[in-house]
Structure 1
Amino acid sequence: MRRIEISENGINMVIEIDDENRTRLLHLSPLPFDESTLEGRSGTLGFNMVEVQMSGLDRAGERHGNKYIITAPGYTLRFAGINDTCDQQGRIIEVTQTDEGTGVEVVSHFRFFNGVRAVRTWTTVTNKGSETQTLEYVSSFCLTGIQKDGVLDEDDKLRIGVCHNSWFRELQWKTYTLPELGLARSQPQEWLHSSKVFACTNAGNWSSKEYIPMGCVSNTETGTHMVWQIEHNGSWHWEISDREGHLYLQASGPSEIESHWSKELKTGESFESVTCGVAFSDESFDDAIGELTRYRRLIRRKNRDNKTLAVIFNDYMNCLWGNPTAEAEFPLVDAAAECGCNYFCIDAGWYADGFWWDEVGEWKESRKRFPNGLKEVTDYIRKKGMIPGVWLEIEVVGIHSPLLDRGDVDDSWFFMRHGRRVFDRSRYQLDFRNHKVREYADSVIDRLVKDYGVGYIKMDYNIEPGIGTETDADSFGDGLLGHERCYLAWLDGVFARYPDLIVENCSSGSMRMDYAMLSHYSIQSTSDQDDYRRYATIAANAPLALTPEQAAVWSYPMQGGDRERTVFNMINSMLLRIHQSGHLANIDDDNRALVKQGIAVYKQIRANIREAVPFWALGTSGFGDGWVSLGLRRENCAYIAVWRRETNGDSISLPIDFLKGVQVRVECIYPDFNEERFLWNTASGRLSVQLRTQNTARLFKLTW
């Protein structure tokens, strides 16, 4: 038996090669490895580095139910070698294992990043045997012993964090104990094993329709936190359960049981799993999310937008509501330019004379809405110093779309199941594995950019086509995965042709908020929420799921609203990305001046936003909270937004632990008419704020 110990960026990794040449991942943590924590009736047997299940192989041993343990050939793999290299980004560990019976080779990849407590993991499976093999499950990340550090019982010390997500109810972070999840201790520690799994799963193309593909394990005894994200724009699965006296975490992309995925590997063929990012902290949950934020910045496409943080006006929310006309746009363009917006996006409806939901797909302007053509409006936008944008839903075709009359548009363009086209909400799902689909999508983008000068596209997606397609696929899930990877490759081609084009990721708001998409897109719609008071919770929690500079939040001041409504709306977006809307041409001068002031302040601080990490003085927010806060911090300054909703108390004390004992200068930077009291308490590290009126907000800057 031998062990390989690796320490990188404050992450300690211990790999064991046992006497039977089996590979174990014993430790991956900011804490040092403690041999005494490896209690269990079978030693290190359950500490597999990877789990792989293939068809027709026996899963002998411990009862497992549907848990992904004792997979075959996962439990029969043997160590074949380790490759330890470095490049400009950081260190790369690759561990190779092989299975004699099937001839399969499995490589576990661990990619570290210089200066960040995070690692990216994925798995490659290659069939080097003589027979075709069928994959049913491949883990992207596999770690046993997530409870082992410390002496307290896991029922007492462990907390599992889950980010619930749904339309209008986005980004709801909840923390659970093991007993609350049905995983309470019911056996002696050394025998800990059952059939119960706590899992978060997605099946389909809306990757975050129920959960953001992430999670967290916190150990309240040791003060350590491990937070992970599955970087996939489709079906995924993570689970926590018990095995061989320990608790484990596994994360993956699609699987056969959960999402109808299987993949045949002929001799010489390989499959690469989706990637998983894992960040660590031994300080706080906020610090763990900070490490994940830094990691997210490293893995995304380099682009100008995430450096400049342009202010976007979009005519939809509490404004034109998908009913644009040239007549309605001109005064909005004037008002948006006056307020300081950089981009102006014409939202849904520009391509149809009337009701358009089931006719989309051709993407040609409506001459009824724009009698002199759409270019008249896009040219006017540029004349006013802004860059024009439009709304698209490129992956779908309405069931009554004129595009269907083209002779070359046949079933091969669309998702198919059981010999029939898949459709949802009166739309068909295009299959981006088909080169004709990609060519058509390219022609739409090229026409909009070249003929209309479009520099911004709001790319929406409002259907869920389910488990996938059967065309040229080993399984429905295989077809879906192939489509999703081809869509991302197509998107790369768009950015290669138009590197300064901004494309917003929108799927009924945030139904595809994942870092497969967000490693390509520079900006993400966070919600369709049309109540600005509730939006404060979504805005405050947004940095859990994505970097602040990618999180587009609507600000929509109301016609007839008072100045505090406008301030509340603006502060919702001012620590993230301003997605300005509301009928700016129709609000009064005072409120329009507050929008202009807010945008001006944002432009002064956005260089800090793009490099800051988040903190939550009051914890993450729930819709029922009377007080909400979000902070961003850098080396010597921080910003904190404070919202008061419907609560009786008019004052709040916000603990900012990293500034305890530090002399801090606090100023209210928005709005400039502030008459509310605030006070910094050096000894306690607390900011006290009074907001005397319900549904008000203030934005503060802290320097030290």
Structure 2
Amino acid sequence: MTGTADAAHTASKQRQDEFTWGHQALRADFAVAADGTLRLVRLAHSDDDRPAAPHSALPLVELTALGHGSGWSGPRFTGTAFGARLAHRTHRTDRRDGWDRLTVELHDPGTGLTAFVELTSPTGVPVLRSRVRLRNEGREPLVVQSVSSLLLGGLPAPDTLDVHRARNDWLAECRWYAEPLRAAVADIHVDVHEHDSRAALALTGRGSWPTDGHLAMGALTERGGGRAWAWQVESPAGWRWDVGERAHGSYLALNGPTDAEHQWRVRLAPGEEFTTVPGALALGADLDAAIGALTSYRRAIRRPHPDHTALPVVFNDYMNTLMGDPTTAKLLPLIDAAADAGAEYFCIDSGWYDDDTRGWWDSVGAWQPSPRRFPDGGIQAVLDRIRERGMVPGLWLEPEVVGVRSPVAAELPPEAFFQRDGVRLTEQGRHQLDLRHPAARAHLDKTVDRIVGDWGVGYLKLDYNIVVDPGTRAPGDLAPGAGLLGHAHAYLDWLSGVLDRHPGLVVENCASGGMRMDGATLAVAQLQSTSDQQDPLRYPPIAAAAPTAVPPEQGAVWAYPQPGFDDDLITTTLGGALLGRIHLSGHLNRMSEHQLALVRDAVAVYKSIRGDLARSLPFWPLGLPGWTDEWLALGLGVPGDRTAYLSVWRRGGPAGLRVPVRHLAGRTVRADVLHPSSAEAGRAVWDGDGLTVSVPRTPGALLIRLTQDG
């Protein structure tokens, strides 16, 4: 074993069959079981002295392969034949670039399969990241059908745990709900049967929209125990997680795509390798703390970019405004109004390429501007006007699709598109590019280099409005799910290449809103669209819950005030975006001076606090929001500072509410309402343990700054 000199922060030997690894915020205890498999018997904060539970620990890796199935039948991906055979061979540790790393080598002599379990953790953050690299060191091919990314047994008994999931549907994203684990995994009286239950609470994401249906994450909280676990599967395609009962305790299993659920499998010839998608698990004293740790971790794994600290204000012409119908005549007054309101980027959304009288949906792919829409000076005249008004120009693009009527559909080779059984796939009048093919990548590189390099566009909103399930089977793909995962990784590699060539470019990730709000994509893109919800009274629960999935400085929240709104509705739609990335829209050019002043005030408030947002951690003093809740609250605390921010929405119910703020209880705190500026809109009074908030009219939203004195 190799390691650093600081044994307190790296692996240390107790006996030949036990070792510990971690740092000041995380400790992982490992033990070799009687069957030779290595097991993670305990994962906790370093100061947590609760005993390990080796009897209920799982092997470090579970996988299934053709000819090597489960040790016992059931819907779970634990108890596999390989899981019981992959024996500990060696392990090594190091620390570099702010990360602690442990690589464990497991080997099955019978097949020659070796699994390298790559465990990492940002130093000082209670989050464990895991992925598994398989190498076939045998003489025969092996067809893998599933392989775990992260496994953890030894959790408390199901009777004490609640499991949390988040529905994530178009226009209704980030809707968290909870239930007792026992509601899914019944108590079958394990001792009588001398066998664990086969039941499990399992969740999967399918198709090319990985977060369509549910977010690729979840959480467990211990009732009365002061512990919480929150996780994410960092897959841009299929994924699965399940929780269940094991040896009077509970377990968690994180997987990428599987054969049974995603038509995924991969053939490993002798010498070949495959690496899983990563899974990450955060620890906390409660759900807020666990999600806060995930937030810090998400910042640690993402691609560095100036946008993550600059947080410029973006105006986008689409939502409730031009709705895909931009023209020079419509854009020029909007550009002036957006600049006057304080916007720093101006994005022209869909429709700028539409010069087809039959509609653009099934004709896209060439991405050339419409002469009909931009008759005088072309689109360059509009982009120049944006720059003249001191803003960075942006364009909407849907790069992966080619309409069936587009000339590009015939120009590119058939292999550049998704296909099954030799047939090119069509979805809603579009074909799907396969970014593994060099012709597909070259087409998109040429497109983006023209738009960004030649036209001087500094912002791209990359949308994706079809879903392909289960995937593609190009030559070399064993199954459609493997083709989909290969394309999804190639897409992120292509996007990384774009950002390498154009380091100042800002990219917003969108898939009909938040249908691609996965950890892998968020690590590359600078912003994430949270929704396409057009109703300002249905957006608050989305905006309030979005930081569970995306750091606040990446979460794009629409603020679309309209000249037909009253003052309360204008300040509410603006206020809902102030603890995220404010994305202005609306017919600002038709507003009265009084209404424009409300917009300018909100933008000025945002600019005054955005430096804090980029390093803050979220909390929810009223709990995670429900879709129909009358009152909602989102807080952001600034670590190491004496400042916190709180957004409170009232959509109904009583005019006043007490909002507890536990981490500030018992302290002297000053509460200042930053938005709206009118005192008549509401007030907040600190009472020593929390806030008494009053919002006299609905709808209403307050942004409050809490500052500790002394």
Q: What range describes the TM-score normalised by the shorter chain of this pair?
A: over 0.9
Using the TM superposition, give the Cα deviation of residue 22 of structure 1 relative to its aligned residue in structure 2, in angstroms: 2.1
Whole-Å separation in 1 of the counterparts to 2:679 and 2:178: 36
Whole-Å separation in 1 of the counterparts to 2:408 and 2:51: 65
Q: Are the equivalent residues in 1 in contact too, given 2:684–2:704 (CA < 8 A)?
A: no
Partner of 2:3: none
TM-score (structure 2 length as normaliser): 0.94
Whole-Å separation in 2 of the counterparts to 1:190 and 1:15: 29
Whole-Å separation in 2 of the counterparts to 1:515 and 1:525: 14
Whole-Å separation in 2 of the counterparts to 1:387 and 1:189: 69
Using the TM superposition, give the Cα deviation of residue 184 of structure 1 relative to its aligned residue in structure 2, in angstroms: 4.1
Using the TM superposition, give the Cα deviation of residue 110 of structure 1 relative to its aligned residue in structure 2, in angstroms: 1.0
Partner of 1:620: 624
The match for 1:594 among 598, 621, 637 is: 598
Whole-Å separation in 2 of the counterparts to 1:34 and 1:192: 26
5 Å matches for 1:172-251?
Answer: 172-184=175-187, 186-188=189-191, 191=194, 193-251=196-254
Does 1:341 find its partner at 2:343? yes
SS of residue matched to 1:630: strand
Q: Are the equivalent residues in 2 in contact too, given 1:397–1:430 (CA < 8 A)?
A: yes
Give, as a single letter, the amino acid of the residue that structure 2 aligns with 1:702: L
Using the TM superposition, give the Cα deviation of residue 196 of structure 1 relative to its aligned residue in structure 2, in angstroms: 1.6
Whole-Å separation in 1 of the counterparts to 2:698 and 2:131: 48
Give, as a single letter, the amino acid of the residue that structure 2 aligns with 1:453: G
Give, as a single letter, the amino acid of the residue that structure 2 aligns with 1:56: G
Whole-Å separation in 1 of the counterparts to 2:451 and 2:393: 10
Cα deviation, 1:537-592, whole Å, max 9, x if unaligned, reads 10000100010000000000122211111100111111100110011111222111
Whole-Å separation in 1 of the counterparts to 2:51 and 2:556: 46
Using the TM superposition, give the Cα deviation of residue 191 of structure 1 relative to its aligned residue in structure 2, in angstroms: 4.0
Q: Are the equivalent residues in 2 in contact too, given 1:527–1:553 (CA < 8 A)?
A: yes
Q: Are the equivalent residues in 1 in contact too, given 2:62–2:148 (CA < 8 A)?
A: yes
Cα deviation, 1:481-529, whole Å, max 9, x if unaligned, reads 1111111111111000001101110000000001110000010000000
Partner of 1:651: 656
Does 1:564 find its partner at 2:579? no
Partner of 2:18: 3
Partner of 2:13: none
Q: Are the equivalent residues in 2 in contact too, given 1:662–1:682 (CA < 8 A)?
A: no
Cα deviation, 1:290-345, whole Å, max 9, x if unaligned, reads 11111111000000111100110000011001011000000000000000101000
SS of residue matched to 1:437: helix
Whole-Å separation in 2 of the counterparts to 1:546 and 1:633: 16
Whole-Å separation in 1 of the counterparts to 2:399 and 2:43: 42
Q: Which stretches in structure 1 are left out of the alignment for 5+ residues?
A: 149-153
CA pair 189-627 structure 1, distance change in 2 beyond 3 A: farther
SS of residue matched to 1:239: strand
Give, as a single letter, the amino acid of the residue that structure 2 aligns with 1:304: P
Partner of 1:400: 405
Whole-Å separation in 2 of the counterparts to 1:172 and 1:587: 34
Partner of 2:536: 532
5 Å matches for 1:460-471?
Answer: 460-471=463-474
Give, as a single letter, the amino acid of the residue that structure 1 aligns with 2:341: C
Using the TM superposition, give the Cα deviation of residue 679 of structure 1 relative to its aligned residue in structure 2, in angstroms: 4.5
Whole-Å separation in 2 of the counterparts to 1:310 and 1:571: 17
Partner of 1:151: none
Whole-Å separation in 1 of the counterparts to 2:617 and 2:705: 15
Q: Are the equivalent residues in 1 in contact too, given 2:404–2:429 (CA < 8 A)?
A: yes
Partner of 2:269: 266
Partner of 2:29: 14
Using the TM superposition, give the Cα deviation of residue 280 of structure 1 relative to its aligned residue in structure 2, in angstroms: 0.5
CA pair 359-676 structure 1, distance change in 2 beyond 3 A: closer
Partner of 2:6: none
5 Å matches for 1:135-150?
Answer: 135-147=144-156
Partner of 1:642: 648
Cα deviation, 1:328-372, whole Å, max 9, x if unaligned, reads 000000000000101000000010124211111110111111112
Q: Which stretches in structure 2 are left out of the alignment for 5+ residues?
A: 1-15
Does 1:56 find its partner at 2:52? no
Q: Are the equivalent residues in 1 in contact too, given 2:314–2:346 (CA < 8 A)?
A: yes
Give, as a single letter, the amino acid of the residue that structure 2 aligns with 1:294: S
Give, as a single letter, the amino acid of the residue that structure 1 aligns with 2:668: Q
Q: Are the equivalent residues in 2 in contact too, given 1:656–1:687 (CA < 8 A)?
A: yes
CA pair 454-36 structure 1, distance change in 2 beyond 3 A: closer
CA pair 366-346 structure 1, distance change in 2 beyond 3 A: same
Does 1:388 find its partner at 2:393? yes
The match for 2:334 among 326, 332, 335 is: 332
Whole-Å separation in 2 of the counterparts to 1:304 and 1:10: 28
TM-score (structure 1 length as normaliser): 0.95
Using the TM superposition, give the Cα deviation of residue 198 of structure 1 relative to its aligned residue in structure 2, in angstroms: 1.0
CA pair 186-180 structure 1, distance change in 2 beyond 3 A: same
Does 1:170 find its partner at 2:173? yes
The match for 1:607 among 592, 596, 611 is: 611
Q: What is the aligned-residue identity percentage?
A: 37
RMSD, matched Cα = 1.6
Partner of 1:113: 122
Whole-Å separation in 2 of the counterparts to 1:467 and 1:654: 45
Q: Are the equivalent residues in 2 in contact too, given 1:661–1:682 (CA < 8 A)?
A: no
Q: Are the equivalent residues in 2 in contact too, given 1:612–1:633 (CA < 8 A)?
A: yes
Q: Are the equivalent residues in 1 in contact too, given 2:570–2:598 (CA < 8 A)?
A: yes
Give, as a single letter, the amino acid of the residue that structure 2 aligns with 1:475: A
